[in-house]
Amino acid sequence: MSDVGFIGVGNIGNPMCANVIKGGHRVVVNDLVEEQAANLIELGATWADSPAEVAAQTEVTLLSLPGPPEVSSVLRGVDGLLEGAEPGMVCFDLSTNLPSTVKLLAERAAEQGVTFLDSPVSNGVQGAIDATLAVMVGGDKAAFEKYKPVLECIGNNVFHMGDSGMGALTKIVNNMVSISSIQVVIEALVIAEAAGLEAERAYEVMSVASAQHYVHNVPTLLERNFDDASFFLKWAAKDVSLAVQVARESGIPSPIASASSDTLNRAKNRGHGMKSVMATLLSAEEDAGVSH
């Protein structure tokens, strides 16, 4: 069993960390909010006051953070991971990050003898609770193989995707599909209602017609319970914006991702950022003059 660090024990990080502890590993945790680690301490984890302290006590550390700026800060900032790390340490970044940022961070970490692998996860909070996440890893293959048993504590589908940045890229295109596809469904239902066809009736046909493979989320959508969110709209907006940024960095047109990004940001800017990703329905209805 390994000495494992875990930094970022919020919505999805907490159950992932709990499953690493349950896997028999000695775990050292850190978060900006110490209270978020209370249940993990009860399970046997040790608290550290900074990422540097986590690094000083562990051979491998997992990060679960909101995005690229937070990952950079935790890794390279004051009292950051690299300040406490010894050569040979391995870091898996479970966050959704930008491939170009990942490559830069991996280069900086390597200068200090630390191996940094992008290792984002998919399947949401429930997947984290059930340890059924998909884990997409980019970077050093030997480090991946050595610590794959740690990753298997959090997910039952663990993939090595290639060089540094390939895990992050896989996650970004996956989320582009999952997030953007529901925006098309929402737009279709709003068009139907604005033109006089009830959304429920439209779905009744869609569920058995050629759209059936794309509308499985509609029953949840029609419940309109947007405040009970495990994946916030603001996170979805960030993820799709990363897809647009990757496309721009590569000189590739991204009209659909860009439209989805605009849709998500419009809803976020109207105050729906902390609601479910499906809350783009509210701004779409507002734009169409459809009321509920």
| 78's tokens | 């004051």
The CA-to-CA distance between both ends of the chain, in Å, stands at: 55
The DSSP bridge pattern shows strands 134-138 and 121-122 to be antiparallel
Of 103, 171, 238, 275, which is the active-site residue? Answer: 171
C-alpha span between 238 and 236 (Å, rounded): 5
- What is the number of other CB atoms lying within 10 angstroms of the CB of residue 107? 11
Residue with tokens 């890229």: 169
C-alpha span between 142 and 256 (Å, rounded): 37
- Helix axes of 280-288 and 166-194: crossing angle, nearest 10 degrees: 40
Concerning whether 103 is annotated as a catalytic residue, the answer is no
Residues with Cβ within 8 Å of residue 121, at least 6 apart in sequence: 12, 16, 94, 127, 128, 133, 134, 135, 136, 154, 155, 171
Helix (H, G, I), strand (E, B) or coil at 62: strand
Catalytic positions: 171
